[in-house]
């Protein structure tokens, strides 16, 4: 009896979650500039218009650049910190982790503004590089969480076994540590990329003249005639994200049981 109520709740909750999300594709195919019911027929002209929107494409390029760099740097920093904390008994490790995770508990607007002040004081310009720095603050804690969980589930004996069987430090790393960490690394890259790609508040203060995609979207929201295009963009981003995650899952399961008999 309780199960059924819970089950119904689950689906109702899903509906609540998806409702706004579905607005995007629905109205992006709607043949009207007005985002309201009733619907006026199917069209793909908004998607077509997107292709020619150079400002949008430029912002998209910026977001991709920032996202990739942020993902790589955050994951690398997260990797070394995660390894340090799980493999060695360091005094003050807890405090260090708490400090690194602090950005999660500080409103993004404060992060953005304070970095803005720092750049001003040091004399550095607002730029995509500044955005990367700001995004790293936000993303490293996520990377750390994923990677620490991965390291903790890792049998230390495996590295010792590899050494015992004749592999030196580098050999052990490439043949044992890295392959086993790979799913965690991929998860971290994915998580940090998506976080950076979608991040608005910090980028808003730090990007200067170069817009990232969320900043571009923000700029478009005050123009009613641009709205259907923006919705089309959102629908595309959603589709791409879903595709990316499905691909990542596929790759992850692919890498695990691959026999390397000839390797």
Positions in 167-226 near other proteins (CB under 8 A)? 167-168, 171, 175-176, 179-180, 194, 198, 200-201, 205, 213-214, 217-218, 221
Helix (H) or strand (E) holding 88: none
- Out of 64, 72, 163, 186, the only residue in the binding site for other proteins (CB under 8 A) is 163
Residue-wise DSSP of 108-141: HHHHHHHHHHHHHHHTPPPSHHHHHHHHHHHHHH
- Out of 38, 41, 52, 123, the only residue in the binding site for other proteins (CB under 8 A) is 38
- Out of 49, 57, 65, 83, the only residue in the binding site for other proteins (CB under 8 A) is 83
Q: Using the rule CB under 8 A, is 53 a contact of other proteins?
A: no
Burial class (CB in 10 A: 0-12, 13-18, 19+), 186: middle
Interaction residues for other proteins, span 229-248 (CB under 8 A): 230-231, 233-234, 237-238, 241-242, 245
Shorter beta-carbon distance to other proteins: residue 28 or 210: 28
CB of 42 to other proteins, least distance (A): 18
Q: Around Cβ 238, how many Cβ atoms within 10 Å? A: 14
d(CA 69, CA 75): 10
Shorter beta-carbon distance to other proteins: residue 45 or 156: 156
- Out of 157, 209, 225, 254, the only residue in the binding site for other proteins (CB under 8 A) is 157
Residues with Cβ within 8 Å of 154's Cβ and at least 6 positions away in sequence, in order, are: 86, 180, 181
List b or e across 130-161, with b for residues whose CB sees 16 or more CB atoms inside 10 angstroms. bbbbbbbbbbbbbbbbbbbebbeebeeeebee
- Out of 80, 125, 247, 251, the only residue in the binding site for other proteins (CB under 8 A) is 80
Give the chain's radius of gyration (CA, Å). Answer: 23
User: What does residue 42 show for φ and ψ, rounded to 5 degrees?
Assistant: -90, 140
Q: Using the rule CB under 8 A, is 137 a contact of other proteins?
A: yes
CB of 210 to other proteins, least distance (A): 18
Q: Using the rule CB under 8 A, is 62 a contact of other proteins?
A: no
* Binding span for other proteins by CB under 8 A among 47-55, 64-72, 134-142: 134-142
d(CA 263, CA 258): 11
Shorter beta-carbon distance to other proteins: residue 55 or 256: 256
d(CA 30, CA 74): 40
Draw the binding track, 87-126, toward other proteins (x: CB under 8 A; -: no contact). xxxx--x--x--xx-xxxxxxxxxx-xxxxxx--x-----
CB of 74 to other proteins, least distance (A): 10
CB of 106 to other proteins, least distance (A): 7
- Of the candidates 263, 259, 251, 244, the one whose C-alpha atom is nearest the C-alpha of residue 71 is 244
Count of residues near other proteins by CB under 8 A: 105
Q: Around Cβ 207, how many Cβ atoms within 10 Å? A: 23
């Amino acid at each position: 009896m309780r199960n059924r109520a819970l089950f119904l709740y689950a689906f109702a909750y899903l509906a609540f979650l998806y409702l706004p999300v579905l607005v995007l594709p629905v109205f992006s195919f709607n043949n009207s500039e007005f985002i309201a019911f009733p619907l006026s027929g199917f069209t793909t002209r908004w998607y077509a218009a997107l292709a020619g929107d150079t400002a949008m494409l430029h912002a998209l390029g910026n977001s991709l650049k920032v996202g990739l760099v942020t993902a790589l740097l955050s994951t690398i920093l997260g990797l070394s910190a995660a390894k340090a904390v799980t493999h060695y008994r360091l005094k003050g490790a807890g405090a260090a982790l708490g400090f690194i995770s602090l950005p999660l508990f500080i409103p993004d607007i404060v992060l953005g503004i304070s970095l803005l002040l720092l750049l001003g004081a040091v004399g550095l310009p607002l730029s995509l590089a500044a955005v990367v720095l700001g995004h790293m603050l936000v993303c490293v804690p996520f990377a750390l969480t994923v990677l620490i969980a991965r390291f903790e589930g890792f049998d230390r004996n495996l590295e010792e076994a590899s050494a015992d069987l004749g592999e030196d430090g580098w050999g052990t790393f490439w043949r044992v540590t890295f392959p086993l960490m790979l799913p965690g690394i991929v998860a971290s890259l994915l998580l940090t990329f998506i976080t950076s790609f979608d991040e608005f508040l910090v980028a808003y203060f730090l990007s200067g003249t170069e817009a990232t995609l969320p900043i571009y979207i923000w700029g478009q929201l005050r123009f009613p005639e641009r709205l259907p295009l923006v919705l089309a963009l959102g629908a595309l981003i959603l589709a791409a994200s879903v595709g990316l995650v499905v691909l990542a899952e596929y790759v992850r399961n692919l890498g695990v049981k691959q026999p390397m008999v000839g390797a």
